[in-house]
Chains A and B, each alone.
Chain A
Amino acid sequence: KQEVTQIPAALSVPEGENLVLNCSFTDSAIYNLQWFRQDPGKGLTSLLLIQSSQREQTSGRLNASLDKSSGRSTLYIAASQPGDSATYLCAVSIANDYKLSFGAGTTVTVRA
C-alpha cells in the first residue's frame, strides 16, 4: 500500500524567504506526482504535476522536483508572499491508475 508522508506538518516564514516542502512515498512505481494547494474552507487546486519520466516541473515561482528512486519530491516556492499561506498537499498515483494517495499536507504561514 502506498504511504505518502509530508514533513514538516507546519511551517512559518517571513515574507521573501524561500519555501521548501518535502514529500516522500513508499512505492517508487508511481505514474505521476501532483502538488495541490488548499485554502481554508476551500477545495484543492492543482499546482504542478510531474509525470514519472520527468525530474521537475516549473510554474512561475514554483518548482517541483521528483526523485523516484529515493521516493521523494520537493516543492520550492521562491520569494514567498503572504498570499502563499495555505496548506500544500502532495499526491501520487500508481501506474495509470486514476486513484490518488495523498499526504497529510504542510500548512504554510508567510508573515508580512
Chain B
Amino acid sequence: NAGVTQTPKFRILKIGQSMTLQCAQDMNHNYMYWYRQDPGMGLKLIYYSVGAGITDKGEVPNGYNVSRSTTEDFPLRLELAAPSQTSVYFCASSYRGGLVGETQYFGPGTRLLVL
C-alpha cells in the first residue's frame, strides 16, 4: 500500500515552460487535493476533486489546470511557468470530505524551481 505518491520529487523549469506534476493514490479515495507551500507560509489549496470527472478551484488556481479521469490519478498542469510558481507542491487525498474524524493523507511533495 503506497498511499499517495508524487512525481517528480524535484524539477527546475525555465520561465514559459510547461510541465505536469503527477499524483496517484491507491486507497480508493474519492477526494483529492493539490496544495502549494511557500517558504514560511501555510499550505494553500490550488484545486480539488470530489470524484472522477469533477474538479473545482481552490484558493490559488491561477496558472494551473487539473483533470481527474480516474479515481486514482490527479495530475496538476502548469502551462506557462512563472517564477511565482516556485514552491513545494503537495497532493493529498481523503475517502470523503467532511466525515467526522476523517483526515487527509499527503504525498511527499514536489519541489519546483522556476528560473
Contacts and interface: CB of A to CB of B under 8 A. Distances in A.
Interface in B57-115: 58, 90, 92, 94, 96-98, 100-101, 103-109
Most A Cβ at <10 Å: residue of B44, B48, B104:
B104
B94 A34 contact: no
Contact of A98 (B40, B98, B101, B107): B98
B15 interface: no
A98 B48 contact: yes
Contacts, number: 60
B108 A42 contact: yes
Contact of B108 (A4, A43, A49): A43
Given A43-B109, A98-B98, A49 B42 contact: no
A44 B98 contact: no
B45 A100 contact: yes
Contacts of A93: 98
A35 B91 CA distance: 18
Interface residues of B, number: 26
A103 B37 CA distance: 11
Interface residues of A, number: 27
B43 A102 contact: yes
B41 interface: yes
B4 interface: yes
Given A42-B108, A99-B45, A49 B40 contact: no
A82 B94 CA distance: 31
Nearest to B103: A46
Interface in A1-50: 4, 9, 31, 34, 36, 41-46, 49
Most B Cβ at <10 Å: residue of A44, A93, A103, A104:
A44
Interface of A: 4, 9, 31, 34, 36, 41-46, 49, 51, 89, 91, 93, 95-105
